[in-house]
Amino acid sequence: MITFDNVTKAYPDGTVAVDGLNLEAADGELTVLVGPSGCGKTTSLRMINRLIEPTSGSILLGNERTGDMDPALLRRRIGYVIQNAGLFPHRTIAENVATMPILLGEKRRTALIQAEELLERVGLPRTFAKRYPWQLSGGQQQRVGVARALASSPRYMLMDEPFSAVDPIVRAQLQDEFLRLQADIGKTIIMVTHDIDEALKLGDKVAVMRVGGKVAQLATPAELLANPADSFVADFLGRDRGYRFLGFVGVDGRVELTDEPVAVLGEPVPAHLGAEPWVLVLDTAQRPVGWVEPSTTDGPIREEHLNLSGTHARHDETMRQILDSALSSPSRRGVVVDGLGTFKGTVTASTVVAALEGVKVS
Ligand SMILES: Nc1ncnc2c1ncn2[C@@H]1O[C@H](COP(=O)(O)OP(=O)(O)OP(=O)(O)O)[C@@H](O)[C@H]1O
């Protein structure tokens, strides 16, 4: 656990960046600090590894006060990932990742081999080990930054806007990969972001901070959306809260699936479906590939006949995804698949909404 106990930081010019902060980041959880620009997120994070010294109060790792530790030793115990990765430009990727283990006394050769394993862990090929940072894309560099932070097997990790320097698609990929990695490694992490959607997606707990460095609310993403503590938190969460809350409600068998007559890619639409406005098309492995308007085909269904606008929901996902599958489908029948992508049935928005009537919001 990382604990802030009444921590204040006043800069020499009198700016109070953090004011009496009390916060507990639980073991094995990812706690996100989120809030508007200048609310003291980075100052709070950097006080944990003493890149910034608190003016008063104490920060504890477990039950050890960081103020009593040697700052260099403290930093070796905590992985640190920053925006733009901050890699050493003249060192290879493997050398970058191996920096801390070598500093801690690991044999260079062993550390470099472990670095290659870590690269794979964060989704990069081992062949990147010998490249230099400038030979990697921004997203790849961010992955290296995560690998480097993990290299000394720290129990704690601090991440300051780790995914913000890349485009939205790469960012979403990095977030998904990081969630999978964290499910595996279960580190105690504090992450800073100014992006509320990122906070809600990644955080086990989210601390919404207000300018002046106080926590307005610390809660799970679902609790925040369902029960914002005050109008500042509600405004910061933004619009669509009701819809976004659905992202935290599991389908859990609430919605009954309907059988759907289907066509097969590469074969003609079956004659008895010829008058339907839309027919779902599967591939030969029973995976949905799109919808077709029978009136526009003549002979075998080809890929260019397909309407691809509909999203697919897995039957074990959330009500948000299952509702989205219905709303995005040209037939308004949402496609539901199993974990392997095999077609299970369809849903309509009205059945999803009817199922939502029974969902408790709090
Ligand atoms: N070295 C400094 N001297 C004086 N004031 C500072 C210093 N560093 C930060 N501040 C001020 O402290 C406040 C908090 O800054 P901090 O960087 O912690 O905010 P933040 O929430 O991380 O912001 P952002 O999202 O914009 O990065 C701001 O008002 C900032 O101007």
Domains of the chain in start order, with CATH, are: 2-247 (3.40.50.300), 262-358 (3.10.580.10)
CB atoms within 10 A of CB 34: 24
DSSP string, 83-110: TTTT--TTS-HHHHHHHHHHHTT--HHH
CB 301 within 8 A of CB 268: yes
The CB of 53 under 6 Å from ligand 1? The reply is no
Give pairs for 266-269: CB < 8 Å, separation 24+: 266/300, 266/301, 266/302, 267/300, 267/301, 268/297, 268/299, 268/300, 268/301, 269/294, 269/297, 269/301
What percent of the chain is helix, strand and coil (3-state, nearest 5)? 40, 25, 40
pLDDT along the chain (362 residues), means of 10: 96 94 96 94 96 96 95 90 84 93 88 92 90 90 89 90 82 88 91 93 95 93 94 92 88 91 97 96 97 94 96 92 96 96 96 85 58
Measured by CA distance, the residue closest to atom 29 of ligand 1 is: 38
Q: How far is the CA of 25 from the centre of ligand 1 (A)?
A: 21
- Alpha-carbon torsion angle 323, 324, 327, 331, nearest 10: -90
Q: Does 210 sit in the ligand 1 pocket, CB within 6 Å?
A: no
Q: So what's the pLDDT on residue 49?
A: 94
Dihedral sign for Cα atoms in the order 269, 275, 280, 285: negative
Three-class SS of 220-234: CHHHHHHCCCCHHHH
Strand order in the sheet with 262-264: 262-264, 279-282, 288-292
Task: Judge if the beta carbon of residue 38 lies within 6 A of ligand 1.
Answer: yes
C-alpha closest to that of 346 among 334, 330, 332, 358: 334
Token pair, residue 206, equals 């989210």
Query: pTM for this structure?
Result: 0.84
Q: Which atom of ligand 1 is nearest to 213's Cα?
A: 14
CA dihedral of residues 291, 292, 293, 298 (deg, nearest 10): 180
- Which residue is closest in CA terms to ligand 1's atom 3? 11
Dihedral in degrees, nearest 10, Cα atoms 247, 249, 252, 256: -70
Residue 259 CA to residue 307 CA, distance in Å, equals 20
Residue 237 CA to residue 229 CA, distance in Å, equals: 11
Nearest atom, ligand 1, residue 194 CA: 25
Q: Which residues contact 57 (CB under 8 A, 6 or more apart)?
A: 4, 5, 6, 7, 8, 20, 21
49 touches ligand 1 (CB under 6 Å): no
Yes or no: say if 198 and 237 are a contact pair by the CB < 8 Å rule.
no
The rounded distance, in Å, linking the Cα atoms of 77 and 104 is 10
Tell me how far apart the 2 most distant CA atoms of the chain are, in Å.
Answer: 80
Q: So what's the ipTM on this one?
A: 0.96
Out of 18, 32, 33, 43, mutate this one to test ligand 1's pocket (max ligand atoms within 8 Å of CB): namely 43
